[in-house]
Structure 1
């Protein structure tokens, strides 16, 4: 099947726990509620792309347990092609999300079936990957598999959107296939440091951006756009064609052959940030598949992410195609 977007990535069940505040180490707290829902960075991004109108396929794996039906329900309803999703013995991936009253969360991911998305599985899905306009990848499947998918896509002229989340030390050759690399400010600093080490550069100095290794927060705790651009410059100077750094409530910044740009954040009432980054990546991929430039795609993605943080859950919070956005 030819698609606008193919996502190679994780599929999870999210267990969402609400608390007044996050516990300190060794502390026990009583939670307010607990609920299961669909999640996983790959599945989230596929749903977000599909709901922005992109024909979307997913390559991944679920277990042979009851969690698989929970994990795939919204994708099926959205018309995502699940022909590349294998069922393997054992549990479906699990993410335990603890959400505090201020909207911030902590997440612990147990890979489960996602560990079975091997390079061989990716190679078997090469036809699906090469038939897409955009291939989206993250780091919740084995890194060798993400690397294989990037190589297959790039060799066929398919645009690679690489979201290095959670932060991981991918080979620099893989990072250089990304157009764009999408990371938040924390992931950007880590990936930049690892990439510099791989190139034998000083751990304290990016190629020509002295402030890149330590983003400067504002008084409110957000990273400034200029600090984000420093990180993006450092990454691009390592040979990555396009870079997008997301800054939470401060918006996003980017750099590519078309130059540098900033997308201001949208001030909305934050309920839950779970999955907002995935909403951004999926919406970005859908726009790029339609032929939008990176700056334009990031503007739309920022609006989708702002919609998502106003609602509980990951996939539960993603807007339908015609739903009004901030």
Structure 2
């Protein structure tokens, strides 16, 4: 079947260490454990959308190393169309992740093969975009490629989602007209707007700023505080389901994938936000990136604590 959700983005091997707390500059800590887990924001969101009910295709690049084989196989195991996952010479992308005893994390990303994602790669798989209902992008591939993908998806009349992660500066002004849903977390909303985001009230100010910059609709994910939806008509706060967090890695990716899957299935915005929130809540009760992402049956059977 043609994919109704196409994810354009990164594939990384996550090198995950658990430690009592996050280290400070120049400090060496003794960690609890080390694991390697398939990840990358693009791949995580593709897995989330697939497990949560969508037909998914992935557009990305992996290296010619063992990690590249493992990353591609992880997507194939989820029945994700990988014909647009290209193998390039060199190393795959990696993410170095430290998770502390409070389930907070710090992440360093090395792009590797993700840097080979060019606008020409998007053009090569244009037929895939034409078949899609929803197209998702993030910022772990080159900006020129993200901008090209957003604008092509808009020209095709698709529902376009940008998860601006990682974000360190405002987005190019000409991107906003191509985006239906801009979905940053608190730190990303702060980086994009130049305003502090540490509460629901400050999230509203940042969202208002992003709307003024040209965003059509903004969803600021607020972790345990839920999410804030904003458009030209106002704001709506969606409280998060209550769960006991173990590891917040990939919670945002799970929300985006679940939200996209629900939209592709015909759900309303509010229904899709709640669906994404339940999926994200379930993900933080489990360790790891892709291993933590729940399935459709998990969400359907969810009962808040």
TM over 0.5: yes
Pairing partner for 1:228 from 203, 223, 236: 203
DSSP-derived class of the 1:245 partner:
strand
Gap change, CA 1:293 and 1:229, over 3 Å in 2: farther
- In the alignment, structure 1 segments of 5+ residues that lack a partner are 194-212, 216-222
Alignment correspondent of 1:292: 267
CA RMSD of aligned residues (A): 1.4
1:73 aligns with 2:73: yes
Q: Give the Cα–Cα distance (whole angstroms) in 2 for the partners of residues 40 and 115 of structure 1.
A: 13
| Displacement after TM superposition at 1:161 (Å) | 0.3
DSSP-derived class of the 2:245 partner:
coil
Alignment correspondent of 1:99: 99
Q: Is the 8 A contact 1:12 1:71 kept in 2?
A: yes
Length, aligned pairs only: 300
1:242 aligns with 2:224: no
What are the residue-to-residue correspondences of 1:170-185 with 2, within 5 Å?
170-185=171-186
DSSP-derived class of the 1:31 partner:
coil
DSSP-derived class of the 2:79 partner:
coil
What are the residue-to-residue correspondences of 1:16-31 with 2, within 5 Å?
16-31=16-31
DSSP-derived class of the 1:183 partner:
coil
DSSP-derived class of the 1:273 partner:
coil
Q: Give the Cα–Cα distance (whole angstroms) in 2 for the partners of residues 169 and 89 of structure 1.
A: 32
Alignment correspondent of 1:308: 283
1:214 aligns with 2:196: yes
What are the residue-to-residue correspondences of 1:147-296 with 2, within 5 Å?
147-167=147-167, 168-193=169-194, 213-215=195-197, 223-256=198-231, 259-296=234-271
Q: Give the Cα–Cα distance (whole angstroms) in 2 for the partners of residues 249 and 108 of structure 1.
A: 23
TM-score (norm 1): 0.89
Q: Give the Cα–Cα distance (whole angstroms) in 1 for the partners of residues 248 and 205 of structure 2.
A: 25
| Displacement after TM superposition at 1:17 (Å) | 0.4
Q: Is the 8 A contact 2:243 2:281 kept in 1?
A: yes
Q: Is the 8 A contact 2:176 2:216 kept in 1?
A: no
TM-score (norm 2): 0.95
DSSP-derived class of the 1:266 partner:
coil
| Displacement after TM superposition at 1:259 (Å) | 4.4
Q: Is the 8 A contact 2:103 2:247 kept in 1?
A: yes
Q: Is the 8 A contact 1:60 1:114 kept in 2?
A: yes
DSSP-derived class of the 1:255 partner:
strand
DSSP-derived class of the 1:234 partner:
helix
Measured against aligned partners, the alpha-carbon deviations of 1:56-95 in whole angstroms (never above 9, x if no partner) come to 0000000111001222233111111001100000011100
- Provide runs of 4+ in structure 1 moved above 3 Å: none
| Displacement after TM superposition at 1:294 (Å) | 2.0
| Displacement after TM superposition at 1:16 (Å) | 0.6
Measured against aligned partners, the alpha-carbon deviations of 1:99-122 in whole angstroms (never above 9, x if no partner) come to 111100000101010000011111
